[in-house]
Structure 1
Amino acid sequence: MNVLNITSKENSPPFELQVQALEERGVDCTTVSVPGTVTADSSRSILDYLRFHPTVLKESLGSYDLIHANYGLTAPFAITQPRLPVVLSLWGTDLDGELGWISKLCANFCDATIVMSERMERELGQRCHVIPHGVDFALFEPSPRSEAMDRLGWDPNAKHVLFPYKAEREVKNYPRAKRIVEAIRDDVPEPVHLQTAREVPHSEMPLYMNAADCLLLTSDREGSPNVVKEAIACNLPVVSVDVGDVPERLEGVTPSAVCRSDRELRRALSSVLERGDRSNGRERAERISTEWMSAQIHDVYRDVVDQ
């Protein structure tokens, strides 16, 4: 099977893993990305997307079985090419963000739509396939915590809470995470440090997750946050707000908690730090592997082509 991927997130680790896993199943993948660059201070322009349209039209004339639009803003270019059936993957912010109406509109014209969580399916309001991004279990796996802390130079006599994003990303709500950690310093006898993943390459994230005592997620919105699944794969406890598919992913994972208020976040984080245990996440992680994800997507491809 030959698939044309179009995306605005070509360098995203979840997208790269998706392509790699599908190719390992024998799917030939070609990727065309929206031109232009994205930085911390700027995003692609309308002109970048307009330049993308003729590229997609030209490429769609090739010998492909279908086109897979990854991320909602690529959907208009997928559905306006005349030849190929279209599979659309929505990631989260492209559905509940300010341009989510584009994703909702275009999904009506696609042959199949993939979302990351049941919550996204309800938000979309139509039948779709719930297939969250998978995790590379060979990269994200438990390792000795003392060795990870030593490599990072973290204080072994303190507690370390990992905020897994850059503090500047507003939607991730770093101020809330900082507020929670400051509040629990009176509850926990050891010093508590809030560690951020600023400028941390994806390949280094397992080191941080194995060194930390807990991952703290305070995002305003998410689809299926990969950092939670990666933490589960590393047996790192997670304390999170109720966003995306986090409740489904943390079902049966202990110690971990899904919270709806600052008070609940503070109580849960204090409890996890005082307990000091790793989680049982790895043994509960069957449905977040890249193999499971690629098998589900491959089934969607086959259904679309057969139709």
Structure 2
Amino acid sequence: MAANRPIRVLAVTAAYPTPGSHKGAFLQSEVEGLREAGVDVQVLHLQGKSKYVKGVQTVRATAKDYDIIHGHYSFCGAVARAQHARPCVITFWGSDVLRNPVLPDTRQGQFSRRISPALARRAEAVIVPSEEMARALPGAQITVVELGVNFAAFKPIAQAEARQRLGLNPDLNHRYLLFANSPSIPVKGWPIAEAATQLMQANGAPVELVAVTGRPHDEVILYMNACDVLVLPSYWEGGPYVVKEAMACNLPIVATDVGDVRRVTAKTQGCYIAERTAEDFADKLWRSLHGPRRTTGRQDIAHLSRENATRRVISVYEHVLAHEQR
């Protein structure tokens, strides 16, 4: 690589935001962070029929235009590794390595988990967001990089202002419980959140449960500042990004003990781990609502900033390129 020129990266992914869909928004945030740090990142978004075959063709035809080919998730990692003109970095994100014990095990999921360890060993470097995933990929050159939060975007806003901009009830005695997932996804536990809310309402609590999914980031940020508690009754999560976003907005959280939630929220007053029952969620929500309206979450997860994550990803790139030049 020529001196004094940015590292050029081709990011290969099948999950990236498009008009009407925010799937892969966390990856878009990573790409934005890398670009802000001076890395020249181009995104190859694989879509449609035969997307992986077409992806292999594109990667093989253009690999020499880049310094690194970076595949995200196992299948796109295979696409990235389908060439040997440039070093390959693969980020595995969760269910491509670890089985979700709640959802039915599909043939695609089984195949993904079967190929991931071999793919990892064939890449020049591997990035994963957790130590648990690292342990599942023996023999690979692994760096653990927790997904960073964009603190410039996810930040505290006055609750009254956020409610006014969303057209919500301006009375701050009316408490909003935020369910920031789709109620139609069974693993997210909507029935528990709904039943807990009904229990609280039956006991006279002025609470309202709102589901927010598929909305633009700007709107999600407003909801995190307008609402009083994030409710996460999931049956399984890897490292739920929404929890870190809520922490960055100083929003109290009540969640099940899934993924890294306990570790991320452990130091923060106003955040609670609940059993997966409506009764315990109602109890923990009640406690949270009777504590401070906002938390110290933002300062408690300062180490999880997007800037820190970006620096670690760049260090992986630099290490790979230094090895290639020996």
> Are positions 1:293 and 2:305 aligned together?
no
Which AA in structure 1 matches 2:208? H
Distance 2:92 2:79 in 1: 15
Q: Deviation string for 1:24-75 (max 9, x for gaps)?
A: 2221112212122xxxxxxxx5x22222221121121x23222111122211
Q: 1:196-275 to 2 correspondence within 5 Å?
A: 196-262=211-277, 264-275=280-291
Question: In the alignment, which residue of structure 1 is the partner of 2:57?
Answer: 54
Q: Deviation string for 1:86-130 (max 9, x for gaps)?
A: 211122233334233333332222222211223333444566222
Distance 1:34 1:51 in 2: 8
Question: In the alignment, which residue of structure 2 is the partner of 1:64?
Answer: 66
> Are positions 1:103 and 2:119 aligned together?
no
Question: In the alignment, which residue of structure 2 is the partner of 1:118?
Answer: 131
Distance 2:51 2:37 in 1: 33
The question of whether the paired residues in 1 share the 8 Å contact of 2:192 and 2:276 is answered with no
Question: In the alignment, which residue of structure 2 is the partner of 1:192?
Answer: 207
Distance 2:51 2:296 in 1: 45
- Which consecutive unaligned segments of at least 5 residues does structure 2 have? 1-6, 18-23, 100-108
Distance 1:124 1:240 in 2: 28
Alpha carbons of structure 1 residues 71 and 196: separation in structure 2 relative to 1, 3 Å: same
Matched position secondary structure for 1:108: helix
Q: Deviation string for 1:276-295 (max 9, x for gaps)?
A: 52111111121221111100
> Are positions 1:13 and 2:25 aligned together?
yes
Question: In the alignment, which residue of structure 2 is the partner of 1:42?
Answer: none
Distance 1:253 1:120 in 2: 26
Question: In the alignment, which residue of structure 2 is the partner of 1:178?
Answer: 194
Q: Deviation string for 1:232-263 (max 9, x for gaps)?
A: 01100111122222222213122102334325
Question: In the alignment, which residue of structure 2 is the partner of 1:32?
Answer: 44
Alpha carbons of structure 1 residues 258 and 129: separation in structure 2 relative to 1, 3 Å: farther
Which AA in structure 2 matches 1:289? S
The question of whether the paired residues in 2 share the 8 Å contact of 1:7 and 1:74 is answered with yes
Higher relative contact order (CA 8 A, sep 6+): 1
When normalised by structure 2's length, the TM-score is 0.83
Which AA in structure 2 matches 1:32? L
Matched position secondary structure for 2:85: coil
Q: Aligned residues: percent identity? A: 33
Of residues 176-185 and 21-30 in structure 1, the stretch that sits farther from structure 2 once superposed is 176-185
